[in-house]
Amino acid sequence: MLQTRQNVLRRFWYSTMPTHMLKDGPKPFTLLGEKIALFLDAKGKPAALQDRCCHRTAKLSRGWVKGGEIVCPYHGWQYDASGKLTAIPQFPADTPVPDAHVPSYHVQERYGYVWVALDEPLAPLPDVPEEHDPGFRRIHQFYTRWETSALRLMENSFDNAHFSFVHKGTFGDLTQPAPEKYEINETDYGFEAESIVRIVNPPHAKRITGTSEAYTTRHMRNKWYMPFCRRLDMEYPSGIRHIIINCATPIDDGSIQITQLLFRNDKEQDCSTQELIDWDAAILAEDREALESTDPDAIVDMGRKIEMHMPSDRPGMIMRRRLLELLKQNGETEIVA
């Protein structure tokens, strides 16, 4: 599926960058092939405009913010958060500013990140109850670019069969290639998957899992939010819950931006932020090596391709079917794959 060619994908929320990155001025971002400029308005709220001045098409992201409005670096033309042209410094003070705009996009700040939808959103951002629970802490783990597609990352996130092999250097157990339990229930927003997996518990992971045993289990409650968001709630026998929230933001047809947040029901002295970042970074590095070796143009309509499927492929097959239905329901009569 070529991400930039499916118009309905423009109607979902995607994480772009941490809000704090905008405090020193505008920043560029590419979402589904669209060049956008992000900045903070006079109230400190994020705004998103097409990264193109309507005068001579200079990049607004190369400019600066003045009074909560973005200033083009070429001739100083100024735009508010809605994209309306508000000032042309070369005009005399009594000359009306032309009624001109640059396109603006839906934007909101949540979980410390700026989220953007290019067109009217079809669904709200997933709620994370732990964000408001004092028993949990939020850790910003990763904000990084991968050379793969969003669908590839999502199907990998629900594929427990790869654990023993891809993750044999961290938690994978080569003697246990299949989970003890794997149940999937479809929902209006995607699906929920529950599984129990036996994992290796090396010495440097004992504070992660909360147990000193050589092996332990993960009770995994995984949720897929169409099209490219995932919540993974991993509970260990120790009572530790390791909850990962990630979004695969499509940059172009072969690249994504990964945002990953972690919520834990422990304290810094139990397991430090750096330990948690380092542990999940090693796991992500293993995933990245595998995913960047695949073809990013993931087929949606499986009728166009012959494959042998294992039981563990079911989540990916459901994703493809649901996305194909979504594309067709929204007028995508020619599915580019």
- Give how far Cα 238 sits from Cα of 113, 203, 270, Å: 31, 16, 12
**pLDDT exceeds 60 at position 116:** yes
What does the DSSP assignment read for 44-67?
S-EEEEESS-TTT---GGGSEEET
**pLDDT exceeds 90 at position 301:** no
**pLDDT exceeds 50 at position 19:** yes
Its pTM stands at 0.91
Pairing of strands 78-79, 14-18: unpaired
Q: What is the mean pLDDT of residues 158-169?
A: 90
pLDDT category of residue 308 using cuts at 50, 70 and 90: very low
pLDDT category of residue 138 using cuts at 50, 70 and 90: very high
* 92-101, 103-112, 138-147: range with lowest mean pLDDT: 92-101
CB-count exposure of residue 39 (10 Å: 0-12, 13-18, 19+) = buried
pLDDT score, position 2: 80
Which two three-digit tokens encode residue 208? Answer: 């992660």
Beta bridge partners of 29: 36
pLDDT category of residue 178 using cuts at 50, 70 and 90: confident
| C-beta of residue 122 within 8 angstroms of C-beta of residue 323 | no
CATH class of 3-117: mainly beta
| C-beta of residue 330 within 8 angstroms of C-beta of residue 322 | no
Q: State how far the Cα of 189 lies from the Cα of 228, in Å rounded to an integer.
A: 11
Domain boundaries, the chain: 3-117, 129-328
In CATH terms, the fold of domain 129-328 is Naphthalene 1,2-dioxygenase Alpha Subunit; Chain A, domain 1 (3.90.380)
Which parts of the chain fold into alpha helices (H)? Answer: 150-157, 163-166, 206-209, 273-291, 314-329
| C-beta of residue 18 within 8 angstroms of C-beta of residue 113 | yes
Question: Does this chain's domain 3-117 share its CATH topology with 129-328?
Answer: no
